[in-house]
Chains A and B, each alone.
Chain A
Amino acid sequence: MPQLDTSTWSITILSMIITLFLMFQLKVSKYYFPEDPKPTLAATPKPVTPWEKKWTKIYFPLSLPL
Chain B
Amino acid sequence: MNENLFSSFITPVMMGLPIVIVIVMFPSIMFPSPNRLINNRLISIQQWLVQLTSKQMLAIHNQKGQTWALMLMSLILFIGSTNLLGLLPHSFTPTTQLSLNLGMAIPLWAGTVITGFRYKTKASLAHFLPQGTPLPLIPMLIIIETISLFIQPMALAVRLTANITAGHLLIHLIGGATLALMNISAATAMVTFMILILLTILEFAVALIQAYVFTLLVSLYLHDNT
Contacts and interface: CB of A to CB of B under 8 A. Distances in A.
A8 B99 contact: yes
B47 A33 contact: yes
A41 interface: no
B71 interface: yes
Interface in B16-35: 18, 20-21, 24-25, 27-28, 31-35
Interface residues of A, number: 29
Interface string B95-129: 01111101110000000000000000000000000
B159 to A, nearest CB: 14
Interface in A13-63: 13-20, 23-33
A12 B95 CA distance: 10
B98 A8 contact: no
A66 interface: no
A11 B18 contact: yes
Interface of B: 6-7, 9-11, 13, 18, 20-21, 24-25, 27-28, 31-35, 47, 50-51, 70-71, 73-75, 77-78, 94, 96-100, 102-104, 161, 165
Given A28-B70, A31-B34, 4 more contacts: A11-B11, A18-B24, A27-B28, A27-B32
Interface of A: 1-6, 8-9, 11-20, 23-33
